[in-house]
A and B are shown apart, each in its own frame.
Chain A
Amino acid sequence: MMDMIQTEKLIFEYEKRDEDGNVIGTSRAIDGVDIDVKEGQFIAVLGHNGSGKSTFAKHLNAILVPTDGTVWVDGRDTKEPEELWNVRQSAGMVFQNPDNQIIGTVVEEDVGFGPENLGVPTDEIWQRVEESLKAVGMLSYRHHSPNKLSGGQKQRVAIAGVVAMEPKCIVLDEPTAMLDPVGRKEVLKTVQRLREEKKVTVILITHYMEEVVDADKIYVMDHGKVVMEGTPREIFSQVEKLKQYRLDVPQVTILADELKKRGLGIPAGILRKEELAECISSQYTHGNRTGMDG
């Protein structure tokens, strides 16, 4: 597999300035991060507010460039000014608030904005608009005004806007934070679909633990460093450690953990509702069966 994103000893420092704009010091937001994302992977980044995850995300399409160390996106060094547009075309970003990302007055115009800026020929723009709206399940809204859409629909339009630029990788920075439960589900399903149909590499940053149970790998950040990495099962079986980093585990995992503490034989790191139900019901049927035998 090709490397989609690779960082080596990535360091980023914000400059602190006084009222006159003079630099009075620096604060290190990212402190030596080495991450390796293969093409087509689904990667989740967790971390508390201020842990450096958003600063990290902004390095993936060169909104920020490293103070030290290197970020390669699809093999390109983001620090090279001449690579800027290529980097931005390889990695698209979706942010938290859909209202801040939508600029068009009609859905299809909004989605066409990105490819238009890339200088894509008009016919192809329309083709891409149609395809991307189809990919996020919003084609029937193409002539609507974005203002009248629900939060989840707006966010899907924002994703379509990124998809229309045909990036190999999409970085989503808390895309569901402002959405209702169904809106959250819509966005996650859309992301899932893009992975399957378009083989897009996905990097998802979120505070909702249950959104990342399907990730290939989870990175946990704290104070600008990667402090944990592993599969969802490996990460979520460490409840106490996660709590130290101000994080949590999915509610299903908490319940499984609680039942385990109360003496039920339940393996660590249960992630899905069906998994837990299966596990409990096997204990139940076992009890039942032995009951009948006795």
Chain B
Amino acid sequence: MSIRLEHLNYIYSPNTAYEKHALKDICLEIPAGEFVGVIGHTGSGKSTLIQHFNGLIKATDGKLFYNGENIYEPGYNMKNLRNEVGLVFQYPEHQLFEIDVMSDVCFGPKNQGLSPEECEKRALEALRLVGLKEKYYKASPFELSGGQKRRAAIAGVLAMRPKVLVLDEPTAGLDPKGRDDILDQVAYLHKQTGMTVILVSHSMEDIARYADRIIVMNHGEVMYNDRPKNVFAHYRELEKAGLAAPQVTYIMHDLKERGIPVDIGVTTVSEAADEIMRALGTEISENEDMTGDGMLDADAMGGDTSDAGATGDGTPDADAAAVGRASGADTADSKNMEKKR
């Protein structure tokens, strides 16, 4: 289910005073099953880009291949493409319209021409996937809270069982718990169903936590297309492009500048904790007896020494590693379901 763009351009209102070259010669490939993050300043072309993925916007020129087929070829089955590539817009709750949540979620599959029984089956499945409680299924979508509405709207897309799920800032305006719940749910779906996920977000921390790869858009061009670690290493360039790196990445750079030998290619909290423990641990374990002494520092800073003392004796190195594993900090795994910041 790969998506491949070749020299794709898009111009809004060509030959008018409002002409805007929104996408410039975009070449990229999104292989099936990947979790891709898309970041970029406001107006960088992110939303325009993703609306090409299911043919909502037709490129001014260039090619877009879905599973090897150019969707701009005459006779291409657009309807099928839209069934397979599900798009969740910004503020999708504004598109809720049915009398109850269940009917709203059934709307997509109904339009796919499925039987009422099948529609309902898929709707139930989708509602369970987004974690919306059963008592809301017959409620008016307008009675739900912001986070619940958004889940209902996402369920409406999931009920169509897309192979590619594209989400445009799905967490904007949600509280932290709502943010985590929705993204954890998406990560879970990604793992369970193997669907491709394309996530647009302004939260660098969220992107770093979930994406295998990041596409950075800047003034209509692809600026970077790489693993989070490599992308966020360019934090100064990112700042010039309206973006930033996750907070932890800045801390690692700061530590490095202070002469602590840490790997600066760290983008999540658990990776950072591992890396800091490793850097400090090496030092401490060279002077095993000194670890107790080290705790005096903590005391002086008003730290909770009882806590520190517990792991302070013994070999801190091993301790740190054990805790790291227990909290799901294994880097390969941390890209999946059990997200631990």
Q: Check if A and B associate.
A: yes
- A49/B145 contact (C-beta < 8 A), A259-B277, A265-B303 known: yes
Interface of B is mostly: helix
Indicate which residue in B273, B302, B310 contacts A267 across the interface (CB closer than 8 Å). Answer: B302
B239 touches A182 (CB 8 A): yes
Q: Is A230 an interface residue (CB 8 A)?
A: no
Nearest chain B residue, comparing its CB with the CB of A261: B323
Q: Among A100-108, A133-141, A159-167, A285-293, which stretch is in contact with chain B?
A: A285-293
Q: Is B305 an interface residue (CB 8 A)?
A: yes
Q: Is B287 an interface residue (CB 8 A)?
A: yes
Indicate which residue in A180, A264, A273, A283 contacts B40 across the interface (CB closer than 8 Å). Answer: A180
Q: Is B204 an interface residue (CB 8 A)?
A: yes
B177 touches A259 (CB 8 A): no
Those of B170-199 within 8 Å (CB) of chain A:
172-180
B258 touches A290 (CB 8 A): no
B42 touches A151 (CB 8 A): yes
B41 touches A180 (CB 8 A): yes
- A291/B260 contact (C-beta < 8 A), A178-B172, A207-B176 known: no
- A252/B247 contact (C-beta < 8 A), A48-B175, A209-B176, A246-B176 known: yes
A283 touches B294 (CB 8 A): yes
Question: Which of A182, A266, A267 is packed against the most chain B CB atoms within 10 Å?
Answer: A182
- A282/B341 contact (C-beta < 8 A), A47-B175, A210-B247 known: no
Q: Which B residues lie within 8 Å of A287 (CB)?
A: 280, 283-284, 287, 290, 294
**Total interface residues on B, using CB and 8 Å?**
70
A177 touches B295 (CB 8 A): no
Q: Is B312 an interface residue (CB 8 A)?
A: yes
Q: Report Cα–Cα, A168/B74, bound state, in Å.
A: 62
- A294/B290 contact (C-beta < 8 A), A49-B178, A150-B242, A264-B308 known: yes
B287 touches A290 (CB 8 A): yes
Q: Is A228 an interface residue (CB 8 A)?
A: no
Q: Is A179 an interface residue (CB 8 A)?
A: yes
Q: Report Cα–Cα, A282/B205, bound state, in Å.
A: 26
Q: Is B286 an interface residue (CB 8 A)?
A: yes
Nearest chain A residue, comparing its CB with the CB of B241: A182
Q: Which B residues lie within 8 Å of A282 (CB)?
A: 297, 301
Question: Which of B204, B205, B269 is packed against the most chain A CB atoms within 10 Å?
Answer: B269
A273 touches B242 (CB 8 A): no
Q: Which A residues lie within 8 Å of B205 (CB)?
A: 251
Q: Report Cα–Cα, A266/B259, bound state, in Å.
A: 19
How many whole Å from B278's CB to the nearest CB in chain A? Answer: 11
Q: Which A residues lie within 8 Å of B239 (CB)?
A: 181-182
- A274/B254 contact (C-beta < 8 A), A50-B145, A174-B173 known: yes
Q: Is B298 an interface residue (CB 8 A)?
A: yes
B298 touches A265 (CB 8 A): yes
Q: Report Cα–Cα, A281/B239, bound state, in Å.
A: 26
Q: Report Cα–Cα, A251/B254, bound state, in Å.
A: 15
Q: Report Cα–Cα, A47/B295, bound state, in Å.
A: 37
Those of B281-338 within 8 Å (CB) of chain A:
283-284, 286-287, 289-290, 293-295, 297-299, 301-305, 307-308, 310-312, 316, 319-320, 323-324, 327
- A263/B287 contact (C-beta < 8 A), A49-B145, A250-B247, A277-B254 known: no
Q: Report Cα–Cα, A280/B324, bound state, in Å.
A: 18
Q: Which B residues lie within 8 Å of A185 (CB)?
A: 244
How many whole Å from A243's CB to the nearest CB in chain B? Answer: 7
Q: Is B147 an interface residue (CB 8 A)?
A: yes
Q: Is A255 an interface residue (CB 8 A)?
A: yes
How many whole Å from A184's CB to the nearest CB in chain B? Answer: 8
Q: Which B residues lie within 8 Å of A264 (CB)?
A: 276-277, 280, 298, 308
Q: Report Cα–Cα, A248/B204, bound state, in Å.
A: 16
- A255/B287 contact (C-beta < 8 A), A263-B311, A268-B304, A277-B258 known: no
Indicate which residue in A246, A284, A286 contacts B279 across the interface (CB closer than 8 Å). Answer: A284
Q: Is A247 an interface residue (CB 8 A)?
A: yes
Q: Which A residues lie within 8 Å of B173 (CB)?
A: 49, 96, 174, 177-178, 207
Q: Report Cα–Cα, A105/B41, bound state, in Å.
A: 23
Q: Is B26 an interface residue (CB 8 A)?
A: no
CB-CB contacts of A167-206 with B at 8 A, as 1s and 0s?
0000000100111111111000000000000000000000
How many whole Å from A273's CB to the nearest CB in chain B? Answer: 5
- 7 intermolecular pairs with C-beta atoms under 8 Å apart: A51-B175, A177-B173, A181-B239, A262-B319, A284-B260, A287-B290, A288-B283
Interface residues of B (CB under 8 A from A): 40-43, 145-147, 172-180, 202, 204-205, 239, 242-244, 246-248, 250-251, 254-255, 258-260, 269-270, 272-273, 276-277, 279-280, 283-284, 286-287, 289-290, 293-295, 297-299, 301-305, 307-308, 310-312, 316, 319-320, 323-324, 327, 341
| Nearest 3 A/B pairs, CB to CB | A265-B298, A263-B311, A246-B177
